Structure 1
């Protein structure tokens, strides 16, 4: 009897894939939360809350919030791919690369605002 389309979530390989997806999601969440915390710290403690430090903090918080949203979309998409036994996520590194570039640019912009 063959496996039906849609997968079997009791299959150890599916469980392993789902757990790996969840670990990746949690890593994205940690990173986004740390960026947002950095934004709060910059806004509150750098230059006594001047406009430039508030703008730098707001920029970092916005990038963190975007990271939270992106991580949720990515997690749900990968979970659906795993359930449907699709290899959609394999080789898809464009989103992570863009997220890294956005984070680097946001940090550079925040530093320039504070300089």
Structure 2
């Protein structure tokens, strides 16, 4: 008789996963953090237009710029990961594909952030 129950009846009583609010807050906090960081990054790119390699290397050697770029990389990578996790969880319905994509997304975000941070630190130091 269980097959005669509606989808709502089958879902009732299971409760929520209790992760929606925390994911929402993490997404919003990283978005708010990215606003000034991206404005700074955009202004920096505009100011570096036409700069030669020596000027760019000197700009990167300044600790404020290196730290700013590391913050942009970290916040953007985390923001992207959290957002794509929500999309995967909501729209991928096959369990093995969902788990695989979540793992790939996590490794991809960490790898991208690590390689980008390494490049910034190599240029800055």
Where on the TM-score scale, by shorter chain, does this alignment land: which range? 0.5 to 0.7
Equivalent residue, structure 2, for 1:20: 19
Aligned to 2:50: none
Answer with 1 or 2: which has the greater Rg.
Answer: 2
1:58-77 per-position Cα deviation (integer Å, ceiling 9, x unaligned): 46515533542342232133
TM-score by length of 2: 0.49
Return the alpha-carbon distance in structure 2 between the equivalents of residues 112 and 30 of structure 1: 31
Post-superposition, which runs of at least 4 consecutive aligned residues in structure 1 deviate over 4 A?
26-33
- Whether the 8 Å contact between 2:26 and 2:82 is mirrored in structure 1 is yes
| 1:18-77 CA distance string (max 9 Å, x none) | x23554x369649957x96xx79xx9xxxxxx6114366346515533542342232133
Structure 2 unaligned segments of length 5 or more: list them. Answer: 42-57
- Counterpart CA distance in 2 for 1:59 and 1:75 is 24
Partner of 1:78: 89
1:57 and 1:112 map into 2 onto residues whose CA distance is 15
Q: Is the 8 A contact 1:28 1:71 kept in 2?
A: yes
Find the residue that maps to 2:98 and give its secondary structure: coil
- In the TM superposition, 1:25-104 aligns within 5 A as 25=23, 29=27, 51-52=59-60, 53=62, 54=65, 57-58=68-69, 60-62=71-73, 64-81=75-92, 86-87=94-95, 88-92=97-101, 93-104=103-114
2:12 pairs with 1:2? no
Give the length in aligned residue pairs: 95
Q: Do 2:27 and 2:82's aligned partners in 1 also have CA atoms closer than 8 Å?
A: yes
